[in-house]
Chains A and B, each alone.
Chain A
């Protein structure tokens, strides 16, 4: 299968700090890849390089088609209604005609006329997602899109996201620090660690367990947590490890 995103020998530095020194990565069409890593390991930088928001210092990045970017914060324009925020991304009549559909797809149709200040955190993030969908991107780059939301809302939006991604058949690169989120949404999970950052673990989520919240994923959870360097994880088969956000580790 042909890669939708391929990264070859990526080099990225910030001053003296080397974030990547020859990183290779490819994401297949229609695949959802989750990138896990501790805070500051370079996972957001990777996404920003792919999205063209940061300039690599070396290597090459090939992205096959239109990209939609979803940020950690909704980043809505406060003076525009939800509808106009979403329409901001439209360049043509065709894309303008898609605005209503995108808003409906994220479940915000009743709130289309509201201003950002009138939205809850979850609604704002849905609006932001709708804006990313207007250009009908076949690739979605998401930088911790749900990490600012509370736990319940996050579960709800993870389900919504899974549904939307499946409907669109999009290729997704999702950066997150939430192991459960990665296991729920992704087909494949990478763990980045070290400086310069390397891929220390690649894990396929078994096909029959994707988009499900099953305790059968416990071995994968343990493997991911160990790769992330979380100490004190007990290897007891069948036991569900209580997982907290890994930001602090």
Chain B
């Protein structure tokens, strides 16, 4: 047990010590790198003023909305494309081309179309999260064991029933992989969206910290992002273990 704890927390602890060393004895100036204590104080001040929760909540809400939107759309479009060769021929090349565009290239257009409000941010996040989910789901559907489909076919299970009872459950592992990558992408695009134009959120803390040369605020935002990313990843893994307990692979 102690050994496992040491294995899990060894590296973060070493990083923290190294950081503390650099900023105290190491002679790194505070405008270059704030000390762990500075960051702790900043965190406390933010919590006391209520700004911490405001920023966290703003970012979490954007990620949640953008990711949910992406998930719903990717499942709908991905299932349709995966299940129908005709739709695949009609839609997939275009979607792959759109996917090839670095998603940040959409930013100017989104700003023009949707302004600098929440809609543009959520849309950008959704674009970022959509493709990993879509790509993995369609690949998963394509790779469903033909033999299982044959079993269903012999039993007269076809069409929508076949999709619901066989194809989609069989593709669920791929969908979950896509969703996990998509969620990571969502946090990535959140920062991109908030760096551009926002008045709250973790990305806003980053820009504000840079403008007023407060490395403690920047580091606080970075730490919070790391924490949020890790937490949502863990939540996803938990969900995965729940939904995919039937798979016969190595434990994730």
Q: Which residues of A contact B (CB under 8 A)?
A: 51-53, 67, 69, 71, 73, 75, 77-80, 88-89, 91, 115-117
Contact = CB atoms under 8 A, between A and B. Distances in A.
Nearest to A89: B155
Interface of B: 147-148, 150-157, 165-166, 169-170, 172, 245-248
A73 B153 CA distance: 16
B150 A88 contact: no
Contacts of A117: 246-248
Given A79-B172, A88-B155, A53 B150 contact: yes
| A contact face: mostly helix, strand, loop, or mixed | loop
A32 B161 CA distance: 34
A69 B150 CA distance: 11
Contacts of B155: 88-89
A79 B154 contact: no
Given A71-B147, A117-B246, A79 B169 contact: yes
Given A75-B147, A115-B246, A69 B166 contact: no
Per DSSP, chain B at the interface is helix
A73 B248 contact: no
B67 to A, nearest CB: 24
B150 A77 contact: no
Contacts of B152: 88
A51 B246 CA distance: 30
Contacts of B157: 88
Given A71-B147, A73-B147, A53 B154 contact: yes
B246 A52 contact: no
Contact of A69 (B154, B165, B170): B154
A246 B104 CA distance: 63
Given A52-B154, A53-B154, A78 B165 contact: no
Contacts of B151: 69, 71, 75, 77
Contacts of B169: 77, 79
Nearest to B145: A75
